[in-house]
Amino acid sequence: SIIVPCHRVMGADGSLTGYAGGLHRKQALLKIETSPE
């Protein structure tokens, strides 16, 4: 099995797709993960 956090799932064309917390939260989580510490 492969476990992928749902906020990391992207559309086939690379677009942001549905997220239970809302797309604005998904975008914020992805930004936090790609920011240098």
Beta bridge pairs of residue 10: 16
**H or E stretch including 29?**
helix 23-34
Kindly list the averaged pLDDT for each block of 10 residues, start to end, along the chain of length 37: 85 90 91 86
**Active-site annotation holder among 2, 6, 17, 24:** 6
Q: Global pTM?
A: 0.70
Distance CA 26, CA 8 (A): 8
Q: Known catalytic residue: 6?
A: yes
**Res 35: pLDDT:** 84
Query: What range does the domain containing 19 cover?
Result: 1-37
CA distances from 21 to 7, 13, 29, 37 (A): 9, 21, 10, 24
- What domain count does the chain have? 1
